[in-house]
Chain A
Amino acid sequence: MFGDYSLSDLGSIFVMQGFAGLILFSVFVLMALGLAIIFGQMGVINMAHGEFMILGAYVTYLTATFFQNHLPGLFDAYFFVAMVLAFLAAGALGMAVEWLLIRHLYRRPLDTLLATWGLSLILQQAYRSSFGAREVGVDLPGWMIGSLQATETIEIQINGLFIMALTVLITIAVGLMMFRSRWGQQVRAVVQNRVMAGAVGIDTGRVDRLTFGIGCGIAGIAGSAFTMIGSTGPTSGQLYIVNTFLIVVFGGAQSLLGTIASAFTISQTQSTLEFFTSGSMASVITLLGVVGILMLRPQGLFTLKIRR
């Protein structure tokens, strides 16, 4: 399938598709970061993660509509407001879910999987009842439309660059929180030894709730980014959940850096293959590759050898 292209053509295709894959990569990274925090740190499988993302997307849509109708002068800035709101909405819902549902199910990971699947069905129907079954889209602010002409054959979309930069910032922030802040220290303490952490005065319940909330909040931001590559419907989130889980597992569930590397590998493979074959075959080949590698190396790509 590469036969008809010269080497420099292939290079350009790779770079172009690479940048086109930036938004997909960003959505994947943000989704996977949230999931990696929840799964890697808490051992909870959140099948409703896609629905938290879609909540963020709907919040972004509502914010855009509000600005269009009431504050058209400030429309250029709506995206920043939307992101914050998406984070808060998804985070708050996440904390409520943790309190109502998840905290009863620690140490029963397969059961959390089923329960959160139930939650995802409820959320989907709630979206359908509130926003209708039809997909909705948002208008980009003017400054995000268009592209930079990097070289003669390579164009880069501005919104892709913006989302990319945003993702990097959020990733750094999450990294700092995990490894520098008191909260991160507490989370890691609870992961290592829940009983001991409780004994030294860490409110493990609060830490869990906050961790789950932040994971879901980041999914909400992913939803904001998602509005730029697709329209939002009640079931849009489900398309992403399998890929995101594979990213987290592929990256080695405990490693944030591994998560990013694996999101990059998967989204770039997918986006490059899409140029040569149909979208569905690109997904099939990518997913098969990931599953194949996971069968050979089930612990993921970035894990340490530890004493069991």
Chain B
Amino acid sequence: MNATPTPAQDFLLSVEDLTVSFDGFKAVNGVNFYVDPNEIRVIIGPNGAGKTTVLDLICGRTRATAGSIRFRGRELTRMSESDIVLAGVGRKFQNPSIYDDLTVFENLEISFPRGRSVWGALRFRRDAEVRDRIHEVAEMIFLKEHLQARAEFLSHGQKQWLEIGMLLIQDPELLMLDEPVAGMSVSERKKTAELLNRIIRNRSVLVIEHDMKFVEDIAHRVTVLHQGKVLSEGSMEHVKNDPKVVEVYLGH
């Protein structure tokens, strides 16, 4: 679509010829896309299109069979998951992934970007900077009153917010969100959209979402995946009117 030949360094994230096969089945097949700094990119596509797998590949959860993922000029495909995080990529999972046995405060504290080595964790002190930041974020994610509660007692929506809060504390340059409003009530959904709109400033965001209203609200550009390949890419308007997309996705 925007296939102007730009040197890769100008993009925050460039995904090129990305392919992964599970026992011969190519879940992601030669995918290319580029994300600019501060861009909000939404990936849509029918079930099984390979959306979550693309996020898994970027954050190192799944290893690519072929292709390259460059983030600020660094090749991610050969880095460990934790190094990818340290490079500035954050990931929210589809199901809320938080620590049930810890308090909300402790959940957030673990994501605080300091003391992430074994010795660092042993020496880590809960100083004023840590506490202030946690309180600040807790306020943003509507959990200020619940800081000392064990996370397992939160509602589904609150758990999603907590995980978003953990990513906020982590402060990644590229934030990846997998269906952040799935399974939420209408009011929770509205609050989440508001929250997301606030936190996606000053960073690039890669979102998988089914809620078209939500997508239209936030997306700068949309990438449509279908059967592991990029079907269409561009503005929401462009994608909506692309006959290929209408055929496989919106037409259903």
Contacts and interface: CB of A to CB of B under 8 A. Distances in A.
Chains A and B share a contact (CB less than 8 Å):
yes
Interface of A: 304-308
B23 A308 contact: no
Contacts of A305: 22-23
Kindly state the interface size class of chain B when it binds its partner. Answer: under 10
Interface of B: 22-23, 27, 53, 61-62
A308 B61 contact: yes
A241 to B, nearest CB: 32
A303 to B, nearest CB: 11
Nearest to A306: B22
Contacts, number: 11
A297 to B, nearest CB: 16
Closest 7 CB pairs of A and B: A307-B22, A304-B23, A305-B23, A305-B22, A306-B22, A307-B27, A307-B62
B53 A307 contact: yes
A142 B61 CA distance: 61
B20 to A, nearest CB: 9
A252 B27 CA distance: 24
A306 B62 CA distance: 10
Nearest to A304: B23
Contacts of B22: 305-307
Contacts of B61: 308
5 contacts: A305-B23, A306-B22, A307-B27, A307-B62, A308-B61
A304 B23 CA distance: 7
Given A307-B22, A308-B62, 9 more contacts: A304-B23, A305-B22, A305-B23, A306-B22, A306-B23, A307-B27, A307-B53, A307-B62, A308-B61
A305 B24 CA distance: 10
A64 B122 CA distance: 64
Contacts of A308: 61-62
A306 B23 CA distance: 7
A305 B27 CA distance: 13
A308 to B, nearest CB: 7
